[in-house]
Amino acid sequence: MEISSLLPNLLCLFFFLHFASPVLPEYTRPPPRPLILRSHNQSDSHPQQVHISLAGKDYMRVSWITSDKKARSVVEYGTTPGKYGGAATGESTSYHYFFYSSGEIHHVKIGPLKPTTTYYYRCGGGGQEFSFRTPPSTFPVEFAVAGDLGQTEWTESTLAHVGARDYDVFLLPGDLSYADTQQPLWDSFGRLVEPYASTRPWMVTEGNHEIEIFPIIYPQGFKAYNARWVMPYQESKSTSNLYYSFDVAGVHVVMLGSYTDFDSNSDQYKWLQADLASVDRAKTPWIFALIHAPWYNSNSAHTGEGETMRVAMEDILYRARVDLVLAGHVHAYERFTRVYDNKADQCGPVHLTIGDGGNREGLALMFENPSPSISMFREASFGHGRLRVFNATHAHWSWHHNNDADSITADEIWLESLSSSSPCNDDATVTSNSPNDEL
Ligand SMILES: [Fe+2]
């Protein structure tokens, strides 16, 4: 066959490929797995949506909801099943959102508690017995991390993988229920996570899906989030539940708010300066920070959304030698090298995006190409992270993606604390032989 006879066909093929190819969207999210809705089928006084959170040194806050508005805010607890030597009373609240009325939301602080000890407890003076284990007072300590959780079958898969291996504290960098003003979904989320959140402290910060502002009627936002997920902001001298800090073992964790004021005149900015200035690195050699919208991101989703906050606050974290920044929002995983002001910097924090808990919106599949030189690993899969702090100088980070029923380690790295890194700390007295893959 002569080439001239093929030419029309080749031209047609060229024009088809060039002009008739489907235009790809900025990024494509695969069909998400279905929502899991957990209903409540027990009595009005039955404690539901039980979760716990750290509430200052040696104290734990127990939170739950009852349909019965007159149920007591009391927690009985002890170290032997069925025997409750301790009891504490707390407070309760409720809220309305248009035609929705919440149940009675109870918050009770219990303690002082011993470290690394299993406590058995029940809420409201009766009903089901729960148990939790307090974190250790010294290293090692292990955190499990997943953001943008939602309440789908992917969420259930991620939580099953989190629960399959022991850990001390769960960290959630924003976007919990994806209720998005549909308030019963907050209740369903609370029931879904109860088996995990009632046994280990859940420390959360807010994402954009917690805002739930409705102009004029609910202009402040965070109505459900602040009522249901009270965090230790008063215990850490913050005036807002939207940002706070806590210590666990030798780690100081700063939970920042991406959706409240953060400029240099803001309360959050001033609080962060004071909070980090008060850190004693001899007691807490490690500092981690959590935000929702990542400051560093090479995914096509949510490009630049964390930039204003980065410009405002990055210098404070850098000067305080924060070791690690964990973010959510982008539904994928990405690990950056140590970075400051968009450049690799051996004294800057490692930035990690881990907004891959399994929400209904699906994955953010498209990354910018070529990959920025400061981006070390990136993958659009659901999963969770593990941060095991072995001692004052070394920690191990690993990311485990969900391979349906299995949880597979896809990325891992050794970290050396900046407080022990002589180039970044003039007072450092500890040096170490670094493994090859260490940052
Ligand atoms: Fe988000």
Question: What string of DSSP letters covers 22-84?
Answer: PPPPSS-PPPPPPB------S-TTS-EEEEEEE-STT-EEEEEEES-TT---EEEEESBTTB-
Residue 173 alpha carbon to ligand 1 centre in Å: 9
SS3 content of the chain, % helix, strand, coil (to 5): 20, 30, 50
Which residue do the tokens 């402290």 mark?
A: 201
pLDDT 10s digits, 229-254? 999 999 999 999 999 999 999 999 99
Residue 73 alpha carbon to ligand 1 centre in Å: 32
Among 50, 172, 54, which residue's Cα sits nearest to residue 109? 54
Residues contacting residue 162 through CB under 8 Å, at least 6 positions apart: 144, 146, 170, 196, 384
Q: In the sheet that 141-145 helps form, which strands lie side by side, from edge to edge?
A: 202-204, 169-172, 141-145, 383-389, 394-403, 406-416
Residue 115 alpha carbon to ligand 1 centre in Å: 34
pLDDT 10s digits, 90-119? 999 999 999 999 999 999 999 999 999 999
Q: What is the pLDDT of residue 27?
A: 39
Residue 207 alpha carbon to ligand 1 centre in Å: 5
- Among candidate residues 302, 329, 400, 401, the one labeled active-site is 302
Q: What is the pLDDT of residue 432?
A: 36
Rounded to 10 deg, the angle between the 153-163 and 184-197 helix axes is 20
Q: What is the pLDDT of residue 33?
A: 85
Show the 3-state SS of 313-355: HHHHHHHCCCCEEEECCCCCEEEEEEEECCEECCCCCEEEEEC
What the block records as the tokens of 320 is 């305080």
Which phi and psi angles does 129 have, rounded to 5°?
-90, 135
Q: What is the pLDDT of residue 30?
A: 55
Residue 201 alpha carbon to ligand 1 centre in Å: 22
Residue 174 alpha carbon to ligand 1 centre in Å: 7
pTM over 0.85: yes
- Our answer to whether residue 161 is catalytic in this structure is no
pLDDT lower than 70: segments of the chain: 1-31, 404, 426-438
pLDDT 10s digits, 34-51? 898 999 989 999 999 999
Q: What is the pLDDT of residue 403?
A: 76
Alpha carbon distance 66, 129 (integer Å): 16
Alpha carbon distance 397, 399 (integer Å): 7
Q: What is the pLDDT of residue 427?
A: 52
